[in-house]
Structure 1
Amino acid sequence: MSDAARIDAFLEMMSAERGASPNTLDAYGRDLRDASGVLKGRLTQADAKDVSRYVSSLAAQGLAARTQARKLSSLRRFFRFLFEEGDRKDDPTSRLEGPKAGRDIPDVLSREEVEQLIDACGEDVRLRCLLELLYGAGLRVSELVSLKLGNLPRRKAGSWETREIIVRGKGGKDRLCPLGAPALDAISDWLEVREESLPKKTVQAKAAGTYLFPSRGKEGHLTRRRLGQMLDALSLKAGIKPSRVHPHALRHAYATHLLQGGADLRAVQTLLGHADISTTEIYTHVLTDELSRLLDTAHPLSR
């Protein structure tokens, strides 16, 4: 019973039975192979002391509490799988307590900064469309790059029949994302020139033809890495630090600006596709910080 074989079997189960996304499977695979390497290929035979020492070593490496908690979560699921499959008669993680992973409050781009980024797109209609969907619909990067033409609303006589797109989110769950006029206009502008970016080879063109943002790469669509490079260049052009401009930063801005405008927290949860409202509540901390600064600067007793 080698580690590699059982890890592969675990990932196959997570994909087939739990519908885990490729990104989730990649994360599980990395975590488990890392643990197997530290334990010299004896992860499947590890006892509670072995696992405890491994978890302690994560803290010694200076890994963030959230990263430690994620790696321990991967181990828990893996050993539960081994137990259910009859490969083990115990779970060495059952009594382990992991670090509490606090939530980092995101550094949110201001409305003015988002406008700077959009203005910096200039005549690049593809980049403007990408930006409008990240900020105008709060899409995750994986949701954006894999968006298909069939997910768009129908067009009739040059206008959109509806204002929603269908997005395939985490766990393969679909949700409707309403779009504003700027995002719909950006999509229309991009569709007028999109064919120019399609691969010339027939086989590649067939695969890429279904995506809103096609690519000549093997995936058929724009990659997350390439999008990140595009945003880095755009941020420099807009005069904003590249470290502050990434796909998730625009998703953060989307959620925060909605709440600042008076949107209900439950509505924002639905729009973001969060399964648990506690994930959405992080944005209320951002607003609380802003209100505290307002109190410090505007209240007469604070002077």
Structure 2
Amino acid sequence: MKQQIEDFITYLKEVKHASLNTVRAYQNDLEKLESYLSHQGIEKVSKITETSLNSYILYLEKDGMSPASVSRHIASMKAFLLFLLRNGIINIDPSERIKAPKVVKKPPHILDEKKILELLKQPDITTSKGIRDRAMLELLYATGIKVSEIINIKMIDINLYGKYITCGDKQERIIPFGSAAKRALKAYLDIRDIAFNKKNKDYLFLNSHGEQLSRQGFWKILKEYAKRAGIEEINPNTIRHSFAAHMLDNGADIGVVQRFLGYTDFYMTYSNQNIREVYMNTHPRA
């Protein structure tokens, strides 16, 4: 089974061109499945049955896994088995009748503008770390991009004069930012090479070792500032959701906001000039 999982991961990378995070998620899920089935005496994919898969799902639920996580594991399982079926490795898909549990989505947590401003004030800009952190938070709120996107921004992706960034793995998009983010970014860029950059010339945001900042590192920073600001509930998407809510509250068209967030259905609907005009008229810190 391990070989088939490796073949599937190779397919995701080389044929589907899936993102690194997506590939890792599938690999982790399938390795967990393989480990469970192996302990049940099932070593070959041809021996996997609907019963054994249902047993695995029950195991995940009893282990305390949330319905959303169980659903993701089922999706990984189904994608893997469909790959095997289409390639003639198995004759029947044992997951065909398996349904994912219903997931009740909680509404996204939104911070009001006052709380956002309080969060943005927390970094100590008399220190190089604080200057970097202020720039990251300002840019995150200014653009609504994901944490995974902000840590992957490279120096060539940012245009300070034009006040925009270029980002996106599968569909590149140009996102403007306002004067507040520009000031914070300029302050950071003025000290970046001396304070952080030992040898890294690529990524915009670096850790204290001069290496690309990790998602975990950013999350740790965000939690600390949220705590200082008296914000009890926050997650990596809170600022992204707040960005969208504030733009809509100030009159932005939902299609424009969806383009900022990276929903590609709207890419042919609005020009970059339309996007900038809407942004300048509706973002609180434009």
> Could you state the TM-score of these two structures normalised by the residue count of structure 1?
0.79
* Structure-2 residue corresponding to 1:188: 186
Q: Deviations over 1:109-130 (max 9, x none)?
A: 1211111111112312111110
SS, match of residue 107 in structure 2? coil
SS, match of residue 237 in structure 2? helix
CA distance in 2, matches of 1:198, 1:128: 15
SS, match of residue 235 in structure 1? helix
1:222 aligns with 2:213: yes
Q: Deviations over 1:52-98 (max 9, x none)?
A: 22223333334322212111110110001111222111111112222
Question: Is the 8 Å Cα contact of residues 211 and 221 (structure 1) preserved in structure 2?
Answer: yes
Letter in 1 for 2:163: R
Aligned-pair identity (%): 28
Q: 1:246–1:100: structure 2 CA closer, same or farther, 3 Å change rule?
A: closer
Q: CA deviation at 1:211?
A: 1.1
* Structure-1 residue corresponding to 2:167: 167
* Structure-1 residue corresponding to 2:10: 12
CA distance in 1, matches of 2:94, 2:109: 38
Question: Is the 8 Å Cα contact of residues 36 and 43 (structure 1) preserved in structure 2?
Answer: no
CA distance in 2, matches of 1:276, 1:52: 36
CA distance in 1, matches of 2:215, 2:166: 20
* Structure-2 residue corresponding to 1:61: 63
Letter in 1 for 2:164: E
Letter in 1 for 2:213: L
1:211 aligns with 2:203: yes
Letter in 2 for 1:189: A
* Structure-2 residue corresponding to 1:267: 256
* Structure-2 residue corresponding to 1:112: 114
Q: Which runs of 5+ in 2 are unaligned?
A: 267-286
Q: CA deviation at 1:262?
A: 2.0
* Structure-1 residue corresponding to 2:85: 83
Question: Is the 8 Å Cα contact of residues 109 and 234 (structure 2) preserved in structure 1?
Answer: no
Question: Is the 8 Å Cα contact of residues 146 and 211 (structure 1) preserved in structure 2?
Answer: yes
CA distance in 1, matches of 2:229, 2:103: 34
Question: Is the 8 Å Cα contact of residues 198 and 209 (structure 1) preserved in structure 2?
Answer: no
CA distance in 1, matches of 2:240, 2:145: 6
> Could you state the TM-score of these two structures normalised by the residue count of structure 2?
0.83
Q: CA deviation at 1:33?
A: 1.2
Question: Is the 8 Å Cα contact of residues 65 and 99 (structure 1) preserved in structure 2?
Answer: yes
Question: Is the 8 Å Cα contact of residues 152 and 166 (structure 1) preserved in structure 2?
Answer: yes
1:145 aligns with 2:137: no
- How many residues were matched structurally? 258
Deviates more, 1:92-101 or 1:12-21: 92-101
